[in-house]
Structure 1
Amino acid sequence: MDVHNAFLHGDLDEEVYMKLPPGFECSDPNLVCRLRKSLYGLKQAPRCWFAKLVTTLKGYDFLQSYFDYSLLTYTKDGVQLNVLVYVDDLIVSGNNSAALQAFKAYLSDWFCMKDLGTLKYFLGIEVARSSFGFLLCQRKYTLDIITEAGLLGAKPADFPIEQNHKLGLATGAKLSDPEPYRHLVGRLVYLSFVRPNLAYSVHILSQFMQDPRCEHWEAALRVVRYLKGTPGQGISLRADSDLSLQGWCDSDWAACPLTRRSLTGWLVFLGQSPISWKTKKQHTVSKSSAEVKYRSMAAITCELKWLKGVNRDFRQLY
Structure 2
Amino acid sequence: MTGDDKEEMTRLKKLLAQEFEIKDLGKLQYFLGIEVARSNRGIFISQRKYILDLLKETGMTSCKPAESPMESNHKLQSGVGKSVDKERYQRLVGRLIYLSHTRPDIAYSVSLVSQFMHDPRDPHMEAVFRILQYLKSAPGKGLLFSRHDHLKIEAFTDADWAGISTIEDLHPDSCTLVGGSLVTWRSKKQSVIARSSAEAEYRAMAQGVCELLWLRKLLEELRLSEKGKISLYCDNKAAINIAHNAG
Q: Same fold (TM over 0.5)?
A: yes
Can you give the 5+ residue segments of structure 1 that lack an aligned partner in the other structure? 1-91
Deviations 1:216-262 (A, max 9, x none): 11110111111111111000001225211100101133333146222
Deviations 1:168-218 (A, max 9, x none): 25621111x211111101000000001110011001100110101111111
1:138 aligns with 2:12: no
* Contact 1:247-1:300 at 8 Å conserved across structures: yes
Can you give the 5+ residue segments of structure 2 that lack an aligned partner in the other structure? 227-247
Aligned equivalent of 2:143: 235
Give the whole-Å Cα distance in 2 for the aligned partners of 1:116 and 1:308: 33
Aligned equivalent of 1:115: 24
Alignment root-mean-square deviation, CA: 1.6
* Contact 1:167-1:216 at 8 Å conserved across structures: yes
Q: Summarize the alignment of residues 7-46 of structure 1 with structure 2, pairs less than 5 Å apart.
A: none
User: Which structure dedicates a bigger proportion of its chain to strand?
Assistant: 1
Partner of 1:117, secondary structure, is: coil
Aligned equivalent of 2:74: 165
Question: Cα distance, 1:149 vs. partner?
Answer: 1.0
* Contact 1:195-1:233 at 8 Å conserved across structures: yes
* Contact 1:266-1:279 at 8 Å conserved across structures: yes
Q: Which moved more, 1:116-125 or 1:144-153?
A: 116-125
Aligned with residue 214 of structure 2, among 284, 302, 306? 306
* Larger Rg belongs to: 1
One-letter amino acid of the counterpart of residue 59, structure 2 = G
Aligned equivalent of 2:123: 215
Q: Summarize the alignment of residues 48-67 of structure 1 with structure 2, pairs less than 5 Å apart.
A: none
Give the whole-Å Cα distance in 2 for the aligned partners of 1:254 and 1:166: 10
Deviations 1:126-166 (A, max 9, x none): 10011111001001111111111101111111111111112
Aligned equivalent of 2:110: 202
* Contact 1:128-1:134 at 8 Å conserved across structures: yes
* Contact 1:156-1:226 at 8 Å conserved across structures: yes
Partner of 2:186, secondary structure, is: strand
* Contact 2:174-2:208 at 8 Å conserved across structures: yes
Aligned equivalent of 1:151: 60
Aligned equivalent of 1:250: 158
Q: Which moved more, 1:130-139 or 1:289-298?
A: 289-298
| Number of positions where the alignment pairs a residue of Structure 1 with one of Structure 2 | 226
Give the whole-Å Cα distance in 2 for the aligned partners of 1:125 and 1:241: 26
Question: Cα distance, 1:294 vs. partner?
Answer: 1.9
1:294 aligns with 2:227: no
1:180 aligns with 2:88: yes
One-letter amino acid of the counterpart of residue 112, structure 2 = I
* Contact 2:170-2:194 at 8 Å conserved across structures: yes
Instruction: State the TM-score, normalized to the length of structure 2.
Output: 0.86
Quickly say closer, same or farther: Cα 1:121–1:268, change in 2 above 3 A: same
Moved over 3 A (4+): none
* Contact 2:93-2:113 at 8 Å conserved across structures: yes
Partner of 1:207, secondary structure, is: helix
Identity across the alignment (%): 43
Give the whole-Å Cα distance in 1 for the aligned partners of 2:35 and 2:180: 20
One-letter amino acid of the counterpart of residue 158, structure 1 = E
Higher relative contact order (CA 8 A, sep 6+): 2
Instruction: State the TM-score, normalized to the length of structure 1.
Output: 0.68
One-letter amino acid of the counterpart of residue 299, structure 1 = Q
Quickly say closer, same or farther: Cα 1:189–1:276, change in 2 above 3 A: same
